[in-house]
Chain A
Amino acid sequence: MKIISKKIKKLKWLFCLFIVLVSQQAISQQQVSGTVSDTEGIPIVGANVLVEGTNNGTMTDFDGSFELEVSENDAVLVISYLGYLRQRITVGNQGNIDVVMEEDVSSLEEVVLIGYGSQSRETVTGAISTVSADDFNSGMINDPMTLISGKVAGLSTSNPSSDPNATADFSLRGPATISGNSQPLIVIDGVPGGDLQTVAPSNIASIDVLKDASAAAIYGSRATAGVIIIATKKGTPGEVQINYNSYVSTDVVTNKYDVLDAAQYRQVGNDYGFAVDDAGADTDWFDEVTRTPISHVHNLSVSGGNEKTTYYAGINYRNFQGIDLISERESLNGTFKLNTKALQDKLDFSFMLTNSHDNRDFANYGSLAQSLKMNPTFPVKNPDGSWYQRPDIQFGLQWNPVASMYTTTNNSKESRLLGNIKVDYAILDGLDASVSYSLMKNSFLGGSYSSREDFFQQQQGVGGQASRSQDLTTTNIVETTLGYGTTIDDDHNMDVLAGYSYQNTFNEGFSAGNNSFNTDAFLYYNLGAGGALNNFTPNFNRSGVFVGSYGSERTLAAFFGRIIYDYRKKYLLNLSIRREGASVLGRDNKWDTFSGISAGWVASKEEFLQDNELIQYLKLRGGYGVTGNQESLSPYQSLATLGPYFGGSHNGYLGEPGSGSWIQPYGPSINPNPALQWETKKELNIGLDFALFQSSWLSGSMDYYHRKIENLVGNYTAQVPSLILPEIFANAGSMVNKGFELALNAQLYKNDTFRWNTSFVAAFNENEIVSITSDQFKGSAQDITRVTEGVNIQRLASGQPVAAFYGRVFAGFTEEGDWLFQNQEGEAVVDSEIGEDDFRYLGNSIPKYSLGLTNNFNFGNFDATVLVRSALAFHAVNGKRMFHENISYYSRQNLFESALDEPIQNSPLFSSYYIENGSYVKLDNVTVGYTFPMENTDYIKSIRVYVTGTNLLTFTDFSGNDPEMGINYYPSDPESEVSNGPSVEPYYDYYPRTSTFTIGLSANF
């Protein structure tokens, strides 16, 4: 380390020498001109050049050159540009000054988006991370969140599968709620509540993450899980910039399950005395349901403008194929952005429109799981070319998954529009008013069809089943702000903001289905053609016939304000407040106030650290804030609503025997809760930002936080009687997350040809549900995750983290091979002597540690990035093992080879036997690029080609597909047979995880 820092020191001296060498003789009252460029010699457009202590300044033009008149030759020029170290140069007698700007490794100069405004990194007092496009992960990017996975301390992202239609799961500083939405608020170009799928990843310029409550409080009732602010690219004044980039990817399965092949299958049958249902083939069913997918992406953008007007237009086409036979996502995004100034530059008008259109063919997870269950001696097809099917096998368990993929269709056409118009007006110097209007329109048109040839269609005699569904969500947002910024006596900097926000979201939809088609030709394009709709013959199977529609609305209104103050950028203060009301709350609790306060002390500005060699920058900061979580609330939960009971299948009889009629009953649809109130979070954050050594080659930040979430909203056991339905949507209990975050950036080595930067992020989070009881509701532990019907494996319980594993404690096997479990007294007993009282909590399922290490190398025209990501200290369950490693399931399905290691011939019971260590370390992304030197061409500014491999290597003890699974608990329909919690690989579902290999090209014109 020492050697490296010495080298950098040397470099700096060399640089100073260079400046001296290029200086020339000068005269008093002189004209100074020069150019500003970066270390690569590329001119910097729009850099600020200012004579220190005056208002005399200018900006560099398109060539990076400037011209300025200075009165005295001891004048000092201050040259600054975003992302580069500020430079002070004494003019002396130089007439021409060429400045080479050095990149600011510590990024103290960067602009941080804080919601309704921005702030310099230097004066930020909350816990906020920024990742800009240069640092984004490359490779095949399906979900924008994967751009920054492993880059932000405390932000856990998980790509739960390689399904092109799946989205990343993510959470910030642990679970934010127990009722479903633990995902941070997404703000896209200032529009809150956006959908990540609206923007094309390649159009994103930067992602800011507001982590603590004091920083996020400006977003009040939606800020509990944190805020992710996405800024999309915009035009810069200057020449027209044309960028084209493109890549092609393919996938390889990383971890294939070893199921028995035909010979092994026969052998096991004979060894264990099972009748072998041998059809004579040797089929690798997994190979039959997978393929080598090819995905390709093309992105073209044009941007430019002048001092008054800038524009950015982009078109993005993405076609992703899944590793399974059918899944595909075809996405087309168009974006247009315009900024223009008018009325003597006092009026700033901006317009943004982006529209994404997706055509999706959904993967059939059940069929992929079925491929592991199929008898390997069965062929895929009969000699005559028809599908090989075995309806005679118990419960129809051996349905052909290849056939199923071809005989069922499930797809959607989706459209996401985001439009925003914003007008800023500078009323006075420092006083700005702005009004913005945004429209978001997300539509979904789904279609599904199961053909007449489908196994289950034939089995149930349904004869082809088609359905369509349409869903439309329209959001209108109006926001106005009034801001005033001033500097008093050169020392007191103040920014004051007041605003109002109104948001209305309407969700509506329609769906219908029919069955009994005499042809497969229509798919879902001729619903009326199905015979079932009008067939009322008794016992005619009309199970596919349905029609439904719905509408719901929610409204938010808020007044907010913020004061940002600093004294000489040394003592910092930030106060924000938001008074917010939501329609979804109980009548008496609609409005609440959220607020945040944070303060900072830049110790390095104090005298005693002024000339410290080691500490270049040091800031202590602390904050406290209160936020809400309106995403955890659903409309109408506080109202006494009445609806039809069970959609027409549970009607009441009225009449005499045999001749009566059926009446659809109406009853209360929920237990209304007029007392419903906000789920609130109170969070304390203490942090430290620092930059160390000469040229700040090592910088970073540390944060400690303690967040308590109260009035946890959830579906709790209602008091029955006298309430009617078993559950009530209510506030009860509290939860705590506390943790520590560390982010380090280091420029480890730098010389003319080689540069090595590394960044490391680490986070520890401890989550505990303190209680699920309140004055209003007395709650007890809730079972939340089922691997199969009636078998719960995870719980929400006080004193435990969210989704803790729960079940029997494995204690060995009897001599006959029967399970032994530990009872309360610690004795090993057989299962029939085990009751629920003997069940134990078996550990957390959400990782406690998440780590990311990024290394960037530049060597001449080559660049390389290596990202290693890790999640540690959690447990995981591979639900497939419970059945595929159980010899007694031989007659139902194929087994894993691992079943033979420790043969279990017993009921598949869940116990600690199946709890595994989920910790993993991944070589997540390796990219190598080469930039072609383009000095001699006029048209092409630069061309870069690169190759990327993602999810290349995983080090883990977990037996399943991939230990990187869901990290949030999403409540599912309590009626459904199975539900999936965090870190649980389901038995019924499967999507193989893949490594992705990408070749890409980026060209600037």
Chain B
Amino acid sequence: MKYIYMSRLPLILSLMGLCCLGGCDMDLEEEVYSAETSENFYQNEDQVMAAYVMPYAFMQNLYDGGHFSLQELSTDEVVAPTRNGYEDQNGAWVRLHRHTWTSSDVWILYEWQNLFQAIGYSNYFLGAMEEQDLSGMDLPIAKERMIAEIKLVRALHYYWALSTFGNIPIVTSVGESSPATRSRQEVFEFIEQEILENIPQLGEKGDANWYGHFTKSAAYALLAKLYINADVFTGTPRWEDAISAIDNVLGANYSLDSDWSTPFLVNNENSNENILVVPFDASNATGFNFAEQNLHEEILFAKYNVEYYGWHKYSTQESFFNLFAENDERIEQWVVGPQTFINEDGEEEPIWSWYGYEMVVTPQITALQSDDTGWDEGAMSIKYEVEVGGLSNMSNDMVLFRLADMMLLKAEALMRLAGGEATSEAVDLVNQVRARNFEADAENAQYTTSNLTMDELLDERGRELAYEMHRREDLIRFGKFNDEWWEKSASAEHRQLFPIPATVLTANPELEQNPGY
């Protein structure tokens, strides 16, 4: 028996030795093939630049994501009605209009996620920059400027989060577990400090690689926004600080364009008044589908020769449309009335509605939710120029800050310092913005110190800044956000902040829900 066993031993051993066929790496470390690992990255200029543009590129989600919806659909300006029984998103748009949203509304969650995702990408880049020594690299932008810019991108998103959600955590690195809610005062101070500390390192308009990035002026514009809303955010007004921040912008190389539409043209990179934009491009930087969201497809097909279907999701509300005087050139941003197009033979021809009649778009919308009307109702915005033959992804750059807004904000601050009365400086600033839209001799082209009331100033901000995602903050600052309008009854004051989304609260027990929700 023993003999047999021994003679077979080598065979047994060799059999067992096959155990190790390819299987000796018992640590089972993963080898990655289609992705980089963070340990191996930042080895050359291209990699550093690719990481640096990430937070900027992510801002291309601002329009299509929740930001536009929350800042505009909750106001008296934009509405997405249920047209002919077609209710989108399970009533989310209707709830935004009526101020009846809940902490479970997904678009509120999307906005939270989008803002903090941008903050996360910023933190990620900033964390990497702390560790990486880039001294040997020939970078098109200095490391210090890149860091300052991304800190401003982060500050901008914190600003929106402060404005939208109020009490939020402050997080400056990736991986910090369960960050706690901080007071609006603390968040305000953090943003203010971040802006002030980083302005010196920023470039300015005209420097290399400035376009679409945070410049000193863009930083001052953000600072001005922060100060003008300081009273809302913290209870302490900062009107003088707002004015001095704006003065820094007014002193820089910007001027009003001669036409209201210039900042919104397809080639709006040539505008003199845009301070900060999100650059979009039909193929390289997609996501700006303004015309698709606003226009009726028949109009897009016939008038603009495009090959995509328009949704006509958004309209402006009738009361808002009525703010525009007939001789105000800015009324041209609305598509209303009988719709026609010029056919191949150069003749004007009516555009036909789906229902077989000549399309006439009415500013009036029968109801917020209608099962048999709506397709041809509600003024549609073409504020951003619709390119003939263009694609649903537009190449117009999306405007975040521009000079006209700064001038109106300065006027507002001056008036608030004067107890709500117009000063001549304020009237002059408002008139500069307004006058370009009227014939020189039009009697309503100019305000005077007597007729420029605070209410009138709010209306003028509406006319000038429609669809630019400022309306919610403006209404809150002017104390009108909780008023009744159209199909909305007066809402409770706590609606000035959105709730912290329910799933976010569950995921982080250290967060606190806003009062009232």
Which A residues contact B (CB, under 8 angstroms)?
275, 277, 392-396, 425, 427-428, 433, 435, 437, 459-461, 476, 478, 480, 482, 500, 502, 504, 508, 538-539, 541-542, 549-555, 557, 581-585, 587, 590, 635-636, 638-646, 648-658, 660, 662-669, 716-726, 773, 777-780, 789-792, 831-832, 835-837, 886, 888-889, 891, 905-909
Contacts and interface: CB of A to CB of B under 8 A. Distances in A.
B387 to A, nearest CB: 7
Interface string B86-119: 1111111011001010101110000011001101
B210 A656 contact: yes
Interface residues of B, number: 117
14 contacts: A394-B297, A425-B15, A427-B5, A480-B15, A639-B30, A640-B37, A641-B37, A653-B211, A654-B140, A719-B507, A720-B112, A779-B507, A790-B106, A837-B102
Contact of B15 (A435, A541, A717): A435
Given A478-B18, A663-B53, A723-B174, A888 B284 contact: no
Contact of B504 (A541, A583, A638, A720): A720
B287 interface: yes
B324 interface: no
Contacts of A553: 30-31, 33
B36 interface: yes
Given A660-B209, A907-B85, A908-B85, A636 B11 contact: no
A836 B102 contact: yes
Contact of A654 (B49, B84, B391): B49
B372 A888 contact: yes
Interface string B195-220: 00000000000001111110000000
Contacts of A909: 87, 90
- Residue from B27, B31, B375 having most chain A Cβ neighbours under 10 A: B31
A720 B113 contact: yes
A500 B27 CA distance: 16
A191 to B, nearest CB: 16
Nearest to A503: B23
Contacts of B502: 780
Interface string B167-188: 0010101111111000000000
A551 B279 contact: no
Contacts of A582: 28
Interface string B364-396: 000001011001000000000001011100010
A502 B29 CA distance: 14
Interface stretch (B56-64, B257-265, B439-447): B56-64
Given A638-B30, A652-B52, A652-B57, 6 more contacts: A500-B23, A642-B38, A658-B269, A720-B120, A721-B116, A907-B87
A653 B29 contact: no
Contact of A656 (B49, B208, B287, B375): B208
A818 to B, nearest CB: 8
B23 A478 contact: yes
A467 to B, nearest CB: 18
Contacts of B284: 648-649, 651, 662
Interface in B5-45: 5, 8, 11-12, 15-16, 18-19, 21-23, 25-38, 41
A552 B30 CA distance: 9
Contacts of A461: 307
Nearest to B4: A428
B509 interface: yes
Nearest to B114: A726
B507 A718 contact: yes
A722 B84 contact: no
Given A718-B507, A780-B506, A665 B102 contact: no
Contacts of A906: 85, 371
A500 B117 CA distance: 45
Given A639-B37, A722-B171, A663 B210 contact: no
B95 A433 contact: no
A667 B209 contact: no
A770 B35 CA distance: 36
B309 A665 contact: no
Contact of B307 (A459, A583, A779): A459
A832 B269 CA distance: 43
Contacts of A773: 506
Given A552-B34, A723-B120, A724-B117, A538 B369 contact: no
A391 to B, nearest CB: 9
B250 interface: no
Interface string B59-92: 0110000000000000000000010111111111
A989 to B, nearest CB: 20
B235 interface: no
Given A552-B33, A590-B28, A651-B57, A656 B211 contact: yes
Given A433-B12, A667-B124, A650 B283 contact: no
Given A655-B209, A722-B171, A396 B35 contact: no
Nearest to A643: B35
A835 B102 contact: yes
B192 interface: no
Given A583-B29, A666-B51, A724-B120, A394 B391 contact: no
B132 interface: no
Given A667-B121, A780-B502, A651 B53 contact: yes
A642 B34 contact: no
Nearest to A657: B269
B135 interface: no
Contact of A722 (B21, B28, B91, B175): B175
Nearest to B122: A724
Contacts of A648: 284
B503 interface: yes
Given A645-B54, A658-B267, A557 B28 contact: yes
B316 to A, nearest CB: 21
Contact of B389 (A433, A539, A645, A655): A539
Contact of B212 (A392, A653, A665, A908): A653
A800 to B, nearest CB: 16
Given A478-B23, A549-B34, A668 B124 contact: yes
Nearest to B38: A640
B283 A721 contact: no
Contacts of A720: 112-113, 116-117, 120, 504, 507
B211 A551 contact: no
Nearest to B95: A835
Nearest first, the 8 closest Cβ-Cβ pairs linking A and B are: A652-B53, A724-B120, A502-B23, A551-B33, A790-B89, A657-B269, A888-B85, A641-B35
B308 interface: yes
B86 A551 contact: no
B282 interface: yes
Given A721-B119, A789-B88, A478 B21 contact: yes
B51 A905 contact: no
Contacts of A460: 307-308
- Residue from A277, A645, A654, A669 having most chain B Cβ neighbours under 10 A: A654
A644 B57 CA distance: 11
A823 B177 CA distance: 38
Contacts of B451: none
B193 interface: no
Nearest to A393: B354
B150 to A, nearest CB: 11
B286 interface: yes
B105 to A, nearest CB: 7
Given A539-B390, A636-B32, A721 B179 contact: yes
Contacts of B281: 651, 662
A665 to B, nearest CB: 4
Contacts of A668: 38, 121, 124, 174
Given A722-B176, A888-B84, A655 B105 contact: no
Interface in B280-339: 281-287, 297, 307-309
Contacts of A392: 352
A655 B171 contact: no
Contacts of A590: 27-28
